[in-house]
């Protein structure tokens, strides 16, 4: 099995010679400008009306949460209560 996996020096040299990239010291690489420089600045800027913004948010697939209201809600589920009790015990120790 080991004899099958070993390559001879000739096989290694031929495979590296085939895979080698020709190096040209005089070759120049053309510089491409960044895409950002080619973009036109936006000239159309209108203030968004709050009612339009609210309508867009209602149509959004994401649920927007008021975090102040969210954290004031009492989260009381059997799983949550068990989690709280377990971690209160750990904190007290």
pLDDT of residue 4: 54
Q: What is the mean pLDDT of residues 20-36?
A: 76
pLDDT for 67 beyond 50:
yes
**What is the SS3 string spanning the chain?**
CHHHHCCCHHHHHHHHHHHCCCCCCCCCCCCCCCHHHHCCCCCCCCCCCHHHHHHHHHHCCCCCCCHHHHHHCCCCCHHHHHHHHHHHHHHHC
pLDDT for 14 beyond 70:
no
The C-alpha atoms of residue 41 and residue 47 are separated, in whole angstroms, by 17
pLDDT of residue 40: 63
pLDDT for 42 beyond 60:
yes
pLDDT of residue 53: 78
């Amino acid at each position: 099995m080991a004899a099958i996996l070993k390559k001879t020096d000739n096989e290694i040299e031929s495979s590296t010679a085939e895979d080698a990239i020709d190096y040209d010291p005089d070759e120049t690489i053309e510089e491409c400008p960044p895409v950002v420089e080619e973009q036109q600045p936006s000239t159309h800027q209108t203030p968004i009306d709050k009612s339009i913004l609210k309508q867009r948010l209602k149509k959004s697939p994401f649920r927007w949460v008021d975090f102040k209201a969210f954290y004031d809600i009492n989260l009381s589920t059997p799983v949550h209560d068990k989690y709280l009790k377990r971690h209160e015990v750990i904190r007290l120790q």
